[in-house]
């Protein structure tokens, strides 16, 4: 078994619980600002999350439900691009105003990863500016080796392209890497790339099939705060409600 050299984080739903109160809110604001009577409810957005990528989500909705008034097919691509750009501006403002706090244990684990000298990366289908806003604002004292986001790959999760790109960037083998994910699509992508997987569920993904993950927990946990619960996997793991970097490395290197 190879020794763990790197830990890669998805962003949305893992680093911050962005989907329900972040991206969904930003999408709805963008629709209103562009004059469309479209509001994605909490449960409706859960269904839309099965489609990876914000632009892809809007395009799917336009083709299946519609925006409430006709959209010229010749203008569709430009409209989707402009809507998504505006949505990103709204989302970044939410981040910068501190309205989207970090999930439990995320910063603690990243600090531990830095101290151990492991490679730390972000692999997300979220927009590049969104990913940079999170890294440069609420995680500005964390050292990231790379941030892969948005259109850096042509295929979204569950395709493994973004994780294969991370392997290419680092020169590491899949067995040397652990991925922190939250969704079925993300878990499938990491599994197809051959990596070890920790899944930490949130409001939307708690009902998804995450059985391909090696460990499934409710959160990463904090020693002096909220403790996580083990939901699946983790056979032989000495787990006390907190997944720290040394424990993760030891478990997957054993």
Comparing CA positions, the residue from 8, 6, 10, 4 lying closest to residue 186 is: 10
Please give the distance of CA 14 from its chain centroid, rounded to a whole number.
Answer: 5
72 catalytically annotated = no
Extract the tokens encoding 44. 């409706």
- Residue 53 makes CB contacts below 8 A (sequence gap 6+) with 125, 156
17 catalytically annotated = no
Q: Which of 12, 182, 214, 244 is catalytic?
A: 12
Distances (CA, A) of 63 to 16, 38, 83: 30, 14, 15
Extract the tokens encoding 206. 């708690």
Give yes or no for a contact between 211 and 231, defined as CB atoms under 8 angstroms apart.
no
Sheet order of strands, 177-181 included:
146-149, 119-124, 6-9, 177-181, 196-200, 215-217, 230-233
Please give the distance of CA 162 from its chain centroid, rounded to a whole number.
Answer: 12
What residues act catalytically?
A: 10, 12
């Amino acid at each position: 078994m190879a020794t763990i050299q790197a830990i890669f984080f998805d962003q949305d739903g893992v680093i911050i619980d962005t989907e329900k109160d972040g991206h969904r809110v930003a999408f709805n604001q963008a629709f209103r600002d562009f004059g469309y009577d479209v509001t994605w409810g909490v449960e409706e957005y859960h269904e839309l999350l099965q489609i990876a990528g914000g632009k892809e989500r809007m395009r799917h909705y336009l083709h299946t439900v519609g925006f409430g008034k006709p959209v010229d097919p010749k203008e569709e691509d430009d409209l989707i691009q402009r809507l998504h750009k505006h949505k990103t501006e709204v989302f970044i403002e939410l981040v910068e105003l501190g309205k989207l706090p970090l999930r439990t244990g995320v910063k603690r684990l990243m600090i531990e990863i830095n101290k151990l000298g492991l490679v730390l990366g972000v692999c997300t289908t979220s927009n590049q500016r969104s990913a940079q806003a999170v890294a440069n604002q609420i995680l500005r004292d964390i050292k990231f080796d790379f941030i892969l986001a948005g259109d850096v790959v042509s295929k979204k999760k569950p395709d493994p392209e973004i994780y294969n790109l991370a392997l290419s960037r680092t020169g590491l083998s899949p067995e040397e890497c652990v991925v922190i994910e939250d969704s079925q699509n993300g878990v499938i992508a990491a599994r197809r790339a051959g990596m070890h997987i920790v899944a930490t569920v949130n409001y939307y993904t708690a009902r998804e099939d995450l059985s391909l993950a090696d460990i499934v927990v409710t959160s990463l946990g904090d020693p002096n705060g909220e403790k996580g619960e083990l939901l699946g996997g983790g056979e032989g793991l000495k787990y006390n409600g907190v997944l720290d970097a040394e424990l993760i490395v030891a478990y997957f290197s054993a």
